[in-house]
Amino acid sequence: MSKDQLFPVGRIVWGSVDVARTQDFNGNPLLVKHGPNAGQPTQRMEFGVAIPKGPEQAWWETSWGQNIFATAQADFPGGETQRQDFSWKVIDGDSGMVNQNNVVWNTKEGYPGHWVVSFSTSLPVSRHAIDPATNKVVDINQAGEIVPGYFVEVFGSISGNNNQQKPGVFINPIMVCRVGYGARIVSGPNVATAGFGAAVMPAGVSAIPPAGAMQQAPMQQAPMQQAPMQQAPMQQAPMQQAPMQQAPMQQAPMQQAPMQQAPMQQPVQQAQGFLNPPTGG
């Protein structure tokens, strides 16, 4: 039995909708466990969404929880749902129990006050977002647009895992839609809680660099002070322009031009005779 379900708005608190995992928590390759492809390599796209609690006392009292419970009972009619190890894929974020990484559930960011649903699939997840300008759904085509800390709605399917030894349900995501932003959640070691600076310092450790090392720093910059010396040839540029000052000397023959035109002054006397007729005439 498989049932489709649109889950309420929640916040991604771990995992990825973009990057598939190819190894298990022990570093071994992920393999198909059941069916005709058992033993073949596979991948899993996994993430958790924290859905705020309401007045209900248990997650199976919610509408989406009732669908999970009904699907599990239909796929495991032999009473397997009563087993303590039945994998419901829902965590109480207020639980004080310790997970497989020895971390208490209610100490994880985004967990308290929420039901945390685990989604998993071997297929690519269709990614979308609400455009705040139009309030319409648009496609997301690049990775990194939906990350832990952001708020989403997930449309997926619920089915039994068909495993009598380790019974449980699959909650497979089909589409994820980003509906809002929140503070990003970074998994892994946290620098604030790593404990840096708490160790006892061994003998000879100084909190500041030695004085000698600090005084030598300007010596390493000495070659930079020689840069003005490399610009000295630029000061000789006016000396290279000296030939341009001799240009008037080359024009000296042009000053002799009136001397060569001296024979042309003789027609002036003729012109005076022509323009001034004799008084006797």
User: How confident is the model over 111-135, as pLDDT tens digits?
Assistant: 999 999 999 999 999 999 999 999 9
Is there a contact between 10 and 134 (Cβ–Cβ < 8 Å)? no
Backbone phi and psi for residue 72, each to the nearest 5 degrees, phi listed first: -65, -45
Mean pLDDT over 184-202 rounds to 78
Q: Are strands 151-160 and 10-15 parallel, antiparallel or unpaired?
A: antiparallel
Q: Which structure tokens are listed for 37?
A: 């492809």
- Report CA 273 to chain centroid distance, whole Å: 102
Third-level CATH fold of 2-180: OB fold (Dihydrolipoamide Acetyltransferase, E2P) (2.40.50)
Task: Please give the average per-residue pLDDT across 231-260, as a whole number.
Answer: 45
Task: State residue 212's pLDDT score.
Answer: 65
Provide the 10 A C-beta neighbour count for residue 54: 10
Q: Is the pLDDT of residue 254 over 70?
A: no
For residues 155 and 206, the answer to whether their CB atoms sit within 8 Å is no
What share of residues in the chain are helix, strand, coil (percent, to 5)? 30, 25, 45
| Mean pLDDT, rounded, for 55-65 | 97
Mean pLDDT of the chain: 80
pLDDT (mean) for 170-186? 96
Q: What is the mean pLDDT of residues 150-175?
A: 96
pLDDT tens readout for residues 61-109: 999 999 999 999 999 999 999 999 999 999 999 999 999 889 999 999 9
Is residue 271's pLDDT more than 60?
no
Report the pLDDT value the prediction gives residue 117, as an integer from 0 to 100. 98
Q: How confident is the model at residue 190 (pLDDT cuts 50, 70, 90)?
A: low
In DSSP notation, 112-137 reads: TTEEEEEEEESSPPEEEEEETTTTEE
Query: What are the distances in angstroms from CA 240 to CA 97, 233, 245?
Result: 88, 11, 11
Task: Return the closest-CA partner of residue 7 out of 37, 52, 55, 71.
Answer: 52
pLDDT at 250 > cutoff 60: no
Closest CA to 145 of 179, 120, 194: 179
**Average pLDDT value for residue range 195-209:** 83
Domain ranges of the chain: 2-180
pLDDT attached to residue 110: 97
Please, which residues have CB within 8 angstroms of residue 144's CB and are 6 or more apart in sequence? Answer: 18
Compare 194 and 70 and report the one with higher pLDDT: 70
Contact 104, 178 (CB under 8 A): no
Q: Which of 41-45, 68-72, 100-104, 216-220 has the lowest mean pLDDT?
A: 216-220
